[in-house]
Amino acid sequence: MDREKNNSSLTRREFIKVSSAAALAAAIPSSGLVYGSESGRIRVGMIGCGGRGTGAAMNCVEASPDAVITAMGDLFKDRLEGSYKRLAEELPKSNLAVTRDTMFTGFDAYKNVLAADIDMVIMAPPPHFRPQHLKAAVEAGKHVFMEKPVAVDPVGIRSVMASSELAREKNLSIVAGTQRRHQEHYLEVMKRIHNGDIGDIAAGQCYWNQGALWVERAMMNWVGYKTKGWSDMEWQIRNWLFSAWLSGDHIVEQHVHNLDVINWAMGSHPIECSGMGGRQVRTEPQYGNIFDHFAVEYEYPNGARVMSMCRQIQGCSENVSERVIGTKGVSFTSGVEGRITGALSYEHEEESPNPYVQEHADLIASIKSGTPLNEGRQVAESTMTAIMGRMSAYTGRALKWDWVMNASKLDLTPPAYEFIELPLDPVAVPGETPLI
């Protein structure tokens, strides 16, 4: 995933060892939701209880002592149990009011969480599921923290935009996991860019180049997965990063952060792109059907061009950052740095507060103040920027935003949400993979 080292959330590998069902049942209180009715409390449900969902729940409680986790749902029982066990170990008792009756598993677990007595929901399942979960949450009148990316295809993006508009009409908050939008040094640099400190933006670059990702886990889960009784569907969801229909590929799942920063600086989404990519190292079947590198050039409405690169290959140089070039200066940003060179130079010298906590603090403040904070459309546009780049790289075709947004029929939804045999689509071949 993409959470930097300063994040207090947990990696998914920390959840492999879970307590037995009997021990869990003994640990979970059987009384009602004690804290949900107290004045000022924010009752929080969780949909998706892997490392990111559990980490987000911990960030939420750190952000506000009024946050109480009251309901949890995950497709897999072991993930649910492992998450509860860790929350019980890490959170104050007053911030965890989950009972056996408010823990749910299965493909419909999200419906049960939303039907529980909650005010807001943390949504951190694999990205494919987020459009349908957001729609259900908004229709149920819940405030939302929604991890990025928010969809994997144009059909999903249109759904997210519609749900975001409905949330606006219903005065509901939606905060996305694009945490740089809540990080102090990013906010300071962006304020200066938008004030004209670097002049007119002429070009830019953004990168998420890193080493390999979860190789050991992919190998472990692949070897003999059929002997564990797993269907294709179960293996793919448990290893969702490596299936394009679940993750959107790493340009969407991870590089969306950097593309979001570029869109933020530009004040717009791109109008067209041309991309390339491939699968140089990830050639074994345990790596599903995703690429291991992409390079995409985006053009923005003012004529500025931005080069985007992302890579997940061990032993290569690493770079996770953004650079925006203006007529009067240049900005540089990363998870730990924010500075501008030029006539109006600037360097952020203090360490920014943890943005993974701050995004929840901002969400809860908006709920309490009755002034909704709705990031749904902006994260949908940033996600679509990444999806458009992937589609261009997969097919070898230059694409225009208007076509992808309004005309593309690409929908990666599986035939059924059941533990079925589900062969993956073949690895994309530029020039041969059709544009849909």
pLDDT (0 to 100) of residue 36: 37
Q: What's the average model confidence in pLDDT over 283-289?
A: 87
Say whether pLDDT at 255 is over 70: yes
- Model pLDDT, residue 223: 60
17-48 pLDDT per residue, tens:
323 333 333 444 433 333 334 558 999 999 99
Let me know how long the chain is: 436
pLDDT digits (tens, 9 = 90+) for 131-163: 999 999 999 999 999 999 999 999 999 999 999
| Residue of higher predicted confidence among 416 and 24 | 416
pTM of the full structure: 0.91
Point out which residues pair with 277 in neighbouring strands: 294
Q: What is the pLDDT of residue 35?
A: 30
Domain locations in the chain as residue ranges: 12-180, 184-352+375-406
What percent of the chain is modeled with pLDDT above 70?
Answer: 88
Do β-strands 174-176 and 143-146 pair in parallel, antiparallel, or remain unpaired?
parallel
- Between 293 and 227, residue with greater pLDDT: 293
- Whether the per-residue pLDDT at 241 is higher than 70: the answer is yes
Phi then psi for residue 404, to 5 deg, are -65, -45
Helix, strand, or coil (residue 328): coil
Quick one: average pLDDT of 363-375?
97
Nearest Cα to Cα of residue 71 among 58, 56, 84, 90: 84
Residue 229 has what pLDDT?
84
What's the CA gap between 145 and 124, in Å, rounded? 9
CATH of domain 184-352+375-406: 3.30.360.10
In CATH, what class is 12-180? alpha beta
Q: How confident is the model at residue 287 (pLDDT cuts 50, 70, 90)?
A: confident
Which tens digit of pLDDT belongs to each residue from 157-216? Answer: 999 999 999 999 999 999 999 999 999 999 999 999 999 999 999 999 999 999 877 654
Q: Residue 228: pLDDT band by 50, 70, 90 thresholds? A: confident
- Residue 55 is predicted with a pLDDT of 98
Q: How far is CA 203 from the centre of its chain?
A: 26
| Alpha carbon distances (Å) from 59 to 264, 283, 394, 397 | 24, 37, 36, 41
Give me the pLDDT at residue 222, please: 62
pLDDT in tens, 299-333: 999 999 999 999 999 899 999 999 999 999 999 99
